[in-house]
């Protein structure tokens, strides 16, 4: 067996193994939230378990004006009602966008992570931004919002 054939076989085996070993996860109301397949802005892999309590998971893009405004609203509510909700902002702009620069420009202080490979977006069945999920302290999805979250829902979440 020549070396090229051996390398091709090994690569094919690795791809098949990784495909088979990744279980299909989909975000569904009332069920456990799928694990994140994303990285923080320092390049460290993150896990949903890294945030305790109620979590507000928001998918956003810098080119989405509603997203940027909503992220600022979340931060204002977090300042007014601290420790009620863990904010997790998942950027879906891809690897060509300098997310660190965007965060600095908009002075975002919440946890920002990147979904460079779009695996998390796929698991959460993202259609567009902003899309947000409320995940309870046990890790179950309680609500999904496509578009901006209505103010009365935000009030219930932060002021409860």
| CATH number for the domain that contains residue 124 | 3.40.30.10
Full-model pTM: 0.83
Q: Is residue 115 part of a domain?
A: yes
Q: Is residue 29 part of a domain?
A: yes
Q: Is residue 143 part of a domain?
A: yes
pLDDT in tens, 97-153: 899 999 999 999 999 999 989 999 999 999 999 999 999 999 999 999 999 999 999
Q: Is residue 160 part of a domain?
A: no
- Strands (E) located in the chain: 39-40, 55-60, 86-91, 111-114, 131-135, 141-146
CA dihedral of 103, 63, 135, 160, whole degrees rounded to 10? 80
Residue 107 to residue 95: CA distance in whole angstroms: 20
Query: How many Cβ atoms sit within 10 Å of the Cβ of residue 82?
Result: 9
Domain range enclosing 125: 24-154
Q: Is residue 16 part of a domain?
A: no
| pLDDT for 40 | 95
Residue 118 to residue 29: CA distance in whole angstroms: 21
Q: Is residue 4 part of a domain?
A: no
Range name among 5-9, 62-66, 126-130 with the lowest pLDDT average: 5-9
Query: How many structural domains is the chain composed of?
Result: 1
Q: Is residue 32 part of a domain?
A: yes
Q: Is residue 150 part of a domain?
A: yes
| pLDDT for 95 | 82
Separation of first and last alpha carbons in the chain: 67
């Amino acid at each position: 067996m020549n070396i090229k054939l051996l390398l091709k076989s090994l690569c094919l085996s690795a791809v098949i193994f990784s495909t088979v070993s990744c279980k299909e996860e989909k975000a569904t109301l009332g069920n456990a939230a799928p694990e994140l397949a994303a990285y923080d802005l320092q390049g460290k892999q993150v896990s949903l378990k890294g945030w305790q309590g109620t979590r507000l998971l928001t998918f956003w893009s810098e080119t989405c004006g509603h997203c940027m405004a909503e992220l600022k609203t979340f931060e204002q509510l977090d300042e007014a009602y601290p420790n009620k909700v863990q904010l997790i902002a998942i950027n879906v702009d891809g690897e060509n966008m300098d997310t660190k620069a965007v965060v600095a420009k908009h002075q975002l202080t919440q946890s920002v992570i990147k979904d460079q490979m779009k695996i998390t977006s796929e698991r959460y069945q993202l259609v567009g931004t902003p899309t947000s999920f409320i995940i309870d302290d046990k890790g179950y999805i309680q609500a999904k919002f496509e578009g901006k979250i209505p103010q009365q829902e935000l009030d219930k979440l932060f002021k409860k």
